[in-house]
């Protein structure tokens, strides 16, 4: 800084076929800082080649840097993984500013030149960072463009405001429906959320009215605030239903986990975001906007300020993305007999689901992670229930009362209770299949197929005898032999069957 040269700092530049490298090393037990601009003198033949002269080169010359007013250099430090941006002319005129600790070093690679445009985005980013490194310059540039959205987002995604939207730990288990956020907080949320939507609308060029979506989010936050199994049982359980009690316990188990309330709140706030774009696949659009608007970064930073550690905050945003994409996973119209298999098979095609389950191939077998599967099944049950409860107040269902076509209205609580049970039955089948799967994807899906389908699939693979675990062969039969006795064997089986006797039949399920 005082114009002296630090003899303990060594800087080496190199350039080959358009690739550039700069290595800086501090060879002393102390801290140092200063500018790297001019090289040490080196001997070089003069223009006539007769004698040698001492010469020095600047950093700009050594790396053959551009020198235009709108030229910028972006490069990465191999040691810490961060990227940096520098004004090219500054590197020519002043050099590069460096701060190093004792025996520390930096290795700068991946130099690329960019040119600023009329928006002056790179100039503003360079002025904002002032030499600091960031994980990604491209992402930092995107954040710069997203400042209006992020400013509005932080009005309600901040530690103080989110704390008011999260139920206190001592009220989560209460069954009383009076445990809801204050109306003033909900009013404030609706206003702030609409301001956020307006910022996003301006950024994305959308045309939709933002007020209905803001009202809907407000209502869902109110409806799902303090959701727990006891409330579920009191409001929606059919009389004497043991299965509903088990469903409520699954809900409580998942929502009692670390950071579960934060996951549910974030999902409630953002899973319908794609509706701002108008008609179309709202779930897919919502998932896309989470990335395009870098919402996860604001959420993650806020959650760490709320007390979650870095890994927990990442887990919350990971689940936020996955559950947003999978929000419509439960298809009530799917045939009940094959529903559990069909829904899981479709989910397993999603790369984010595969990532959560840590699906991997080893020895030609696809494996999955048990804990990941439990997390997936538990959270899909939660959002399946939550999504239906959010629509429950307006729900009515018309069912034929007789062949004459008379219809009766089923009260919303009764219809909602039936849907919750249907969702739980799917998750319950998944859990049973997982227990029998040995953590193999193929066996997991096979266990969800009906007995007849499993038998058909098995017979389609092999027709000859196969060794069992004990080493004995199964009684394999040819197709011709199987045709020789049909009626007699069926009659014999029917005679052996008795009501309530759970003996295995010929593989055909009796409905």
pLDDT digits (tens, 9 = 90+) for 417-467: 999 999 999 999 999 999 999 999 999 999 998 665 555 545 545 434 444
Domain co-membership, 16 together with 95: yes
Does the residue 444 lie in any domain?
no
Tokens of 487: 């009626």
Domain co-membership, 229 together with 81: no
SS3 state of residue 49: coil
What is the number of alpha carbons within 13 Å of residue 325 lying toward its C-beta? 19
Domain co-membership, 311 together with 178: yes
- By residue range, what is the domain housing residue 71? 9-137
- Burial class from Cβ neighbours inside 10 Å (0-12, 13-18, 19+) for residue 178 reads exposed
- Burial class from Cβ neighbours inside 10 Å (0-12, 13-18, 19+) for residue 24 reads buried
Domain co-membership, 196 together with 87: no
Distance CA 68, CA 90 (A): 10
**Would the pLDDT of 218 be above 70?**
yes
* Mean pLDDT for the chain overall: 84
**Would the pLDDT of 399 be above 50?**
no
Give me the percent of the chain exceeding a pLDDT of 70.
81
Cβ-proximal residues to 474 (8 Å cutoff; 6+ apart), any chain: 465, 466, 468
Domain co-membership, 205 together with 270: yes
* Distance between first and last Cα of the chain: 87
Does the residue 249 lie in any domain?
yes
Does the residue 467 lie in any domain?
no
Least confident of 265-274, 384-393, 491-500: 491-500
Mean pLDDT to the nearest integer, 327-343 = 89
Going along 167-280, which residue ranges are E strands? Answer: none
Does the residue 437 lie in any domain?
no
Give me the percent of the chain exceeding a pLDDT of 90.
68
Mean pLDDT to the nearest integer, 210-231 = 93
Domain count, the chain: 2
At 203, the pLDDT band (50, 70, 90 cuts) reads very high
pTM for this predicted structure = 0.78
Mean pLDDT to the nearest integer, 133-159 = 96
Domain co-membership, 108 together with 244: no
Of 81, 80, 36, which Cα lies nearest the Cα of 56?
36
**Would the pLDDT of 500 be above 50?**
no
pLDDT digits (tens, 9 = 90+) for 372-386: 999 999 999 999 999
Does the residue 422 lie in any domain?
no
Please give the pLDDT value at position 450: 64
Does the residue 509 lie in any domain?
no
Domain co-membership, 265 together with 131: no
Tell me the C-alpha to C-alpha distance, in Å, between residue 194 and each of 149, 181, 187, 218: 11, 19, 11, 10
Q: Which helix (H) or strand (E) segment is 195 a member of?
A: helix 183-204
Domain end residue (candidates: 325, 346, 374): 325
Least confident of 19-33, 308-322, 469-483: 469-483
Tokens of 459: 């017979």
Beta bridge partners, 12, equal 23
Domain co-membership, 85 together with 154: no
Of 105, 87, 2, 13, which Cα lies nearest the Cα of 57?
13
Domain co-membership, 71 together with 163: no
Does the residue 448 lie in any domain?
no
Contact between 24 and 98 (Cβ < 8 Å): yes
At 333, the pLDDT band (50, 70, 90 cuts) reads confident
Domain end residue (candidates: 325, 340, 358): 325
Domain end residue (candidates: 325, 357, 376): 325
Tell me the C-alpha to C-alpha distance, in Å, between residue 137 and each of 8, 131, 290, 363: 31, 12, 19, 41
Pure H helices in 7-69 = 59-62
Cβ-proximal residues to 80 (8 Å cutoff; 6+ apart), any chain: 106, 133
Contact between 201 and 210 (Cβ < 8 Å): yes
Domain co-membership, 123 together with 211: no
**Would the pLDDT of 175 be above 80?**
no
Least confident of 49-58, 235-244, 297-306, 499-508: 499-508
Domain co-membership, 224 together with 315: yes
**Long-range contact set of residues 331-335: C-beta below 8 Å, sequence gap at least 24:** 332/419, 332/422
Please give the pLDDT value at position 392: 62
Beta bridge partners, 58, equal 38
**Would the pLDDT of 237 be above 70?**
yes
Please give the pLDDT value at position 4: 84
**Would the pLDDT of 248 be above 80?**
yes
Domain co-membership, 115 together with 186: no
Does the residue 168 lie in any domain?
yes
């Amino acid at each position: 800084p005082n114009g002296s040269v630090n003899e303990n700092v060594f800087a080496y530049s190199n350039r080959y076929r358009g690739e550039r490298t700069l290595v800086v090393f501090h060879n002393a037990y102390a801290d140092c800082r200063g500018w790297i601009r001019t090289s040490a003198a080196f001997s070089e033949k003069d223009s006539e080649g007769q004698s040698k002269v001492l010469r020095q080169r600047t950093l700009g010359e050594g790396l053959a840097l551009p020198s235009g007013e709108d030229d910028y250099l972006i490069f990465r430090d191999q040691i810490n993984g961060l990227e940096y941006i520098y004004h090219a002319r500054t590197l020519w005129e002043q050099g590069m500013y460096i701060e190093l600790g004792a025996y520390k070093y930096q290795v700068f690679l991946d130099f690329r030149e960019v040119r600023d445009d009329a928006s002056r985005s790179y100039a503003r980013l360079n002025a904002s960072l002032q030499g600091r490194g960031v994980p990604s310059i491209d992402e930092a540039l995107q954040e710069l463009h997203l400042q209006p959205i992020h400013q509005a987002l932080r009005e309600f995604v901040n530690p103080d405001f989110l704390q008011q939207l999260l139920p206190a730990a001592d009220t989560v288990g209460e069954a009383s429906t009076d445990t809801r956020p204050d109306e003033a907080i909900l009013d404030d949320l609706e206003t702030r959320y609409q301001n956020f939507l307006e910022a996003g609308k301006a950024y994305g060029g959308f045309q939709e009215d933002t007020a209905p979506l803001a009202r809907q989010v407000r209502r869902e936050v109110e409806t799902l605030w303090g959701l727990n199994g006891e409330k579920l049982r009191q409001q929606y359980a059919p009389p004497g239903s043991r299965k509903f009690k088990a469903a409520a316990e699954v809900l409580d188990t998942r929502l009692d986990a670390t950071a579960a309330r934060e996951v549910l709140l974030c999902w409630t706030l953002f899973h319908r975001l794609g509706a701002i774009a108008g008609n179309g696949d709202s779930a897919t659009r919502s998932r896309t906007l989470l990335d395009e608007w870098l919402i996860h970064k604001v959420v993650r930073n806020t959650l760490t300020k709320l007390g979650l550690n870095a890994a927990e905050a990442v887990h919350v945003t990971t689940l936020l993305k996955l559950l947003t994409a999978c929000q419509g996973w439960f298809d009530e119209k799917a045939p009940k007999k094959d529903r559990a298999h069909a829904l899981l098979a479709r989910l397993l095609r999603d790369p984010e689901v595969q990532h959560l389950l840590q699906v991997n191939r080893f020895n030609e077998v696809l494996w999955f992670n048990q804990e990941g599967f439990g997390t997936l099944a538990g959270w899909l049950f939660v959002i399946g229930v939550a999504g239906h409860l959010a629509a429950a107040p307006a729900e009515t269902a018309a069912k034929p009362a007789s062949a004459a076509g008379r219809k009766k209205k089923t009260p919303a609580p009764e219809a909602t209770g039936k849907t919750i049970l249907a969702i739980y039955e799917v998750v319950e089948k998944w859990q049973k299949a997982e227990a029998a799967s040995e953590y193999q994807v193929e066996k997991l899906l096979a266990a969800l197929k009906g007995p007849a389908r499993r038998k058909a699939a098995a017979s389609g693979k092999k027709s000859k005898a196969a060794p069992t675990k004990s080493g004995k062969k199964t009684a394999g039969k040819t197709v011709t032999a199987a045709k020789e006795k049909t009626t007699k064997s069926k009659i014999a089986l029917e005679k052996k069957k008795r009501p309530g006797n759970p003996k295995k039949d010929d593989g055909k399920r009796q409905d």
